[in-house]
Each structure stands twice: as structure tokens, then as C-alpha cells.
Amino acid sequence: MKSKNPSHTHIIRRLVQFGFALFILVTAARHGLGGEEAGVASTDALCPFGGLETLWRLVVNGRYIPKTHASNVVLGVGLLVGTVLAGGAFCGWICPFGGLQDLLTALRRRLRVPELRVPDKADRILGYGRYLVLAGILYATVSTAKLWFASFDPYRTIFSLSWLFEFNWATSWPAYTISLAIIVGSFFVPRLWCRYLCPLGGTLSLLSRISLFRIRRDTSTCIDCKKCDKACPVRIKVSDKRSVTADCIGCLQCIETCPVPDTLYVGTIVESAHAAESKEGVA
Amino acid sequence: MRVHRYVLPAIVLVALLGSVLVGKLAGDWATTGKGDVPVDASGAPDPEGIKGWMTLQDVSDTYGVPLADLYTGLGVPADLPPTTAMKDLENIIPNFETETARLWVANYLAAHPGAVAAPTSPTAPAGGDQASTPPGTRLAASDIKGQMTLNEIAEQCQVPVSYILEQMKLDPGIDANQGIKDLAEKYGFEVGAVRIVVSEYQTTHP
């Protein structure tokens, strides 16, 4: 029987998440305290999604959308390569906003507040929200040649510390309202933003379908206890899949929870071709 | 093929951090557009290059638009210092956007083909507290720092001390070897006012 103490994987993941969140917050603080003049990067400049937003204008006009820079494109390309190789582990290990939502879930559990469980059908439908948000942002960004989403982006609002250094309710109330709503919502619904609204998550979800490495399930040893389903923070029904890709954030919680060694494991896409007779499915 | 579970996060971490390393090695890593003012086909600064970080003084120096015209044309309140950045104006002037400044400057330059841009970069070198300029070149007014003395400003910006003192309505016998920040505190003016005076001189004495 497995211990209820946090596993090594869990601890390492939390440390990595904390490290990246701290880096972003310290950079934002330095930027907000006048480091801009000394060339300290802004939160905008360190967001891989900015690379996607500015891509169209860069290709067509050879210019970046205001507030985006070469760093956005470099990070975007790096993340694209990483995702094609290893799926959405960025969301589970690196994204500071994902880390914040995990923190809120941990807090809720500690306070013994029950999770607000979204019905399965609603969960599936709301899951398409990410693609709608993504399409809307790309359309608005291309048509206005501005970082249109910046005025609403809860990640930017929270982690740029603009609410601390240049609070302005009159001009930024939509961003503050959305951010607060997401924070409160994520307290009750794990990874609310990631599951239903995150445009970067939507992009990575599409790319993850072809990822070289992914979590796989050995159907011959699986005892269908469904502990993996319960452990998954983004509610993937791992026990129904042989290969977990699209929505997976690579947190490895399912593997940690599985009571049968090596039933859930990290394998390659190539195995899919040999498992045609098994019950196939992609999350 | 089974691999260690940590392969998933390790690959993404290496890809992300590796991209930064490769970008830096290739010289393609930039987190700011400062100092990067594009030029048009004729080699003149392109108003499309006006960025949110640029101050009124930067725009004036880079595109050769007198500050007075810039203030009037963009509807900037007279009490705002020339060190105010475009992005800050967005929060101060209703309906103002950096794009507004781009359009206005483009129109201004079309109507004033003789406008002469300052020969230096709109920004000081990163990390350099003390502005300096190679012999034979003129320091832009926007690069004047508070710790510079009047004599240093006169020498590097090629503006007579007497002109600055006269325009600033300061005592001609003032110690020109004192930093202008100290003088500003002592005589109750803003460092930005010296930049305006110097900028106007440089515009009329190209």
C-alpha cells in the first residue's frame, strides 16, 4: 500500500513550479521597480504564447507586435519542440499559473473544502473553450496588430505584478475581474483556467496529439481500480485510454497513484502502431 | 519502448531552457525593443518605430519634431515632463495610444520634410549611469543625466552654458561644475527642463 506522504515526484514538481513562479515574480518586481530602464525583461517578454501571437505579423511584416520581442518567439519555438517531443509537461511542471492553481487546490484540500465537480458532459463541452479563446485571441491580435489579450490576460495581470505597481481600476478592471474570478474558481475547480480557457493550453493540447513521448497504460496488467482517474488534476479518464496525450499536463500523478507497478508508464508514440488490437483511445 | 517517467518534464525543460541558450548564442535573444528604431527606405527613422517605452523627448530627438509641436499635436498637458513615456500617456490622455503618436509624427514629417532627427540613439547605453559621447559627436538632450554638470552638458551636447542659464533664468554666476540634479533641487527646476532647453538649441543649431 502506498504512503499518503507526498512522493518524490510530487515534491520535485512542486519545487520546479515554485522555482519558475519565483523567477517570474522576481523579474516582474525588478521590472516594476524601475529595472525596465536597465533592460530587465517584462512578463510579456517571457511568455511563450506571445511568440504565437506575434508570429503572423512577424512573417507578413517582419515586425513584432508591440510588447513582444525575439524572446517570445525563441521561447515559443522551444516550447513547440518540447511539446511535440514530450506533450504538455510545460503546463504541469513549468507554467507559474498552473502552479498557482495547484496551490489553490492544495489549500482547498487542507481546509477540507469539497471540490466543485463539473458534470462530465459540461466538462467535455467547456473543454472546447480553450480553442475558442485561442481562435478569438489570434483573430483579434492579427486584425488589430496589438497584444489584444493583454488587457484581459489573468496570467499577465497576476504575475506581472501590475496590480501592485500600477493599479488602475478604471482602465484594468476587466483584467482584475477576470483574474479574481479565475482565482476564486480555481479554488473550487482544480485547474479551472487550464481545462476550460487557457489559449496556450489549447495550443499545446493540439500539438500533444503527436507527441513522441506520452503516458501509456498496459491493459494486460491494469486492474481497473480507476485510482489514476481520481488522481488526474485535469480529469482525464486514464483508465479508459491506452495512450494519454491531448489534455495531459505530464504531472505524472496517475503513474504515482497506480498500485500496479509499470502498468502506467512513459512510452513512445511508436508503440501505438503495435497496439491496434487493444482498446485504443486518446484523451 | 519504456523510458523513465522524468523524461517528460526533462525534455520540456531542456527544450525551453535550451532555446534560450541557443537564442542567446545566436544573438537572437532580446527581451526589449529599446534602441531598435527601424528606418525607412531613405534611411530616416520610421515613425512606425515609435514604441511605448519612448519618452516625448526620445520621439522629439529621434524624429526631429520640436517638443512644443509634439506637446500640441498629441494634446499632452504642458505640466507633463518630456521624460513621460508613450505608454504612460496612454493612461493619462483619453483615447491616446502609441499608434496615435506614430500617425501624428508620420503626418508631421510629411508636412515638414526638413525635420532633422538627432544623430544619436534615443536611449542611453544599458547600465551606463554616466552619459558620454565620443569626440566629435553630440549627446542627445534625452541622454542628459541628473548627475551631469552644466559644463559637461555644454561640452557633450554642444550648447553654451550661458544659453542654458539664460533660458532657465538662472544666475549667470552659478557654479557650472555642480550636478544639475543638485542645481534643480537648489533652484527649484526639473532636470527635464534642461533637456527641453538643450533640445531646442540642438534643433535650431543642427
| pLDDT (tens digit per residue) in A36-58 | 666 788 899 999 999 999 998 88
Question: What's the pLDDT band for A127 if we cut at 50, 70, 90?
Answer: very high
CA distance B24 to chain A (A): 9
Mean pLDDT value across residues A92-97: 97
Q: Flag whether residue B11 sits within 8 Å of chain A, measured between CB atoms.
A: yes
| pLDDT (tens digit per residue) in A56-89 | 888 887 778 878 889 999 999 999 999 999 999 9
Which of A83, A262, A266 is nearest residue B3 as measured by Cβ atoms? A266
pLDDT of residue A10: 93
User: Could you tell me which residues come within 8 angstroms of residue A67 by beta carbon, excluding any fewer than 6 positions away?
Assistant: A42, A44, A45, A50, A147, A150, B52
Cβ contacts of B6 on chain A, cutoff 8 Å:
9
CA distance B47 to chain A (A): 13
| pLDDT (tens digit per residue) in A221-233 | 999 999 999 999 9
Taken in order of first residue, the domains within chain A and their CATH numbers are: 8-207 (no CATH), 213-278 (3.30.70)
Alpha helices in A33-69 (DSSP H): 48-61
Cβ contacts of B37 on chain A, cutoff 8 Å:
none
Question: What's the pLDDT band for B130 if we cut at 50, 70, 90?
Answer: very low
Question: What's the pLDDT band for B36 if we cut at 50, 70, 90?
Answer: low
Mean pLDDT value across residues A113-141: 95
Whether B3 sits inside 8 A of A268 (CB atoms) is yes
pLDDT of residue B185: 73
Grid cell, residue B32, equals 526589449
Residue A16, pLDDT above cutoff 90 = yes
Residue B129, pLDDT above cutoff 50 = no
Which of A46, A66, A77 is nearest residue B52 as measured by Cβ atoms? A66
Q: In angstroms, rounded to a whole number, what is the distance separating the alpha carbons of residues B90 and A14?
A: 39
pLDDT of residue A36: 64
* CB-CB contact of A94 with A48 (8 Å): no
Grid cell, residue B140, equals 542627445
Q: Flag whether residue B14 sits within 8 Å of chain A, measured between CB atoms.
A: yes
How many other C-beta atoms can be found within 10 angstroms of the C-beta atom of residue B115?
A: 17
Whether A45 sits inside 8 A of B127 (CB atoms) is no
CA distance B108 to chain A (A): 22
Disruptive mutation site among B2, B6, B11, B145 for chain A (greatest number of A CBs within 10 Å)? B11
Grid cell, residue B27, equals 544573438
Widest CA span of chain B, in angstroms? 85
User: Could you tell me which residues come within 8 angstroms of residue B101 by beta carbon, excluding any fewer than 6 positions away?
Assistant: B47, B50, B59, B74, B86, B89
pLDDT of residue B123: 45
- Ranking A149-158, A159-168, B123-132 by mean pLDDT, the lowest is B123-132
Disruptive mutation site among A16, A54, A74 for chain B (greatest number of B CBs within 10 Å)? A74
Q: What angle (nearest 5°) sits at the alpha carbon of residue B151, between those of residues B148 and B152?
A: 45
Residue B16, pLDDT above cutoff 80 = yes
Predicted TM-score (pTM) of the model is 0.69
Mean pLDDT value across residues B89-103: 84
Which of B30, B34, B52 is nearest residue A71 as measured by Cβ atoms? B30
Strand partners, A266: A215, B3
Task: Name the range with the highest mean pLDDT among A52-61, A119-128, B140-149.
Answer: A119-128
pLDDT of residue A87: 95
CA distance A136 to chain B (A): 22
Cβ contacts of B33 on chain A, cutoff 8 Å:
64, 69
Q: Flag whether residue B23 sits within 8 Å of chain A, measured between CB atoms.
A: yes
Cβ contacts of A82 on chain B, cutoff 8 Å:
11-16
pLDDT of residue B80: 86
SS3 B109: helix
Residue A155, pLDDT above cutoff 90 = yes
Helices (H) and strands (E) in chain B, counts: 9, 1
Q: Flag whether residue B84 sits within 8 Å of chain A, measured between CB atoms.
A: no
Question: What's the pLDDT band for B38 if we cut at 50, 70, 90?
Answer: low
Closest by CA position to A202, among listed A159, A249, A259, A238: A249
DSSP 8-state class, residue A281: -
Q: In angstroms, rounded to a whole number, what is the distance separating the alpha carbons of residues B39 and A55?
A: 21
DSSP 8-state class, residue B39: B
Quick one: how far is CA A75 from the chain centroid? 15
- Ranking A9-23, A125-139, B68-82 by mean pLDDT, the lowest is B68-82
CA distance B15 to chain A (A): 5
Residue B124 phi/psi, 5-degree rounding, is -75, 155
Mean pLDDT value across residues B73-96: 86
pLDDT of residue B41: 59
Q: Flag whether residue B125 sits within 8 Å of chain A, measured between CB atoms.
A: no
pLDDT of residue B37: 64
| pLDDT (tens digit per residue) in B39-72 | 665 667 778 778 777 889 888 888 888 888 889 8
Q: Is the dihedral of CA B107, B110, B116, B122 positive or negative?
A: positive
Q: In angstroms, rounded to a whole number, what is the distance separating the alpha carbons of residues A203 and B34?
A: 30
pLDDT of residue A37: 62
Question: What's the pLDDT band for A258 if we cut at 50, 70, 90?
Answer: very high
pLDDT of residue A256: 94
* CB-CB contact of A278 with A267 (8 Å): no
* CB-CB contact of B74 with B64 (8 Å): no
pLDDT of residue A276: 44
Grid cell, residue B202, equals 540642438
* CB-CB contact of A212 with A269 (8 Å): yes
CA distance B127 to chain A (A): 6
SS3 A244: strand
Who wins on pLDDT, A3 or A213?
A: A213
Cβ contacts of B14 on chain A, cutoff 8 Å:
82
Quick one: how far is CA A78 from the chain centroid? 15
Mean pLDDT value across residues B5-26: 95
Who wins on pLDDT, A265 or A36?
A: A265
Mean pLDDT value across residues A141-163: 91
Q: Which residue has the cell 519565483?
A: A22
| pLDDT (tens digit per residue) in B179-190 | 887 787 777 777
* CB-CB contact of B50 with B59 (8 Å): yes
Q: Which residue on chain A is closest to B98 by alpha carbon? A: A66
Mean pLDDT value across residues A180-201: 97
pLDDT of residue B42: 64
Cβ contacts of A36 on chain B, cutoff 8 Å:
32, 53
Q: Considering just the CA atoms, what is the radius of gyration of chain A in Å?
A: 20
Amino acid at B173: G
Q: Which helix (H) or strand (E) holds A216?
A: strand A213-217
Average pLDDT, chain A: 90
Amino acid at B174: I
Residue A267, pLDDT above cutoff 50 = yes
* Residue A129: exposure state from Cβ atoms within 10 A (0-12, 13-18, ≥19): middle
Q: Which residue on chain B is closest to A87 by alpha carbon? A: B8
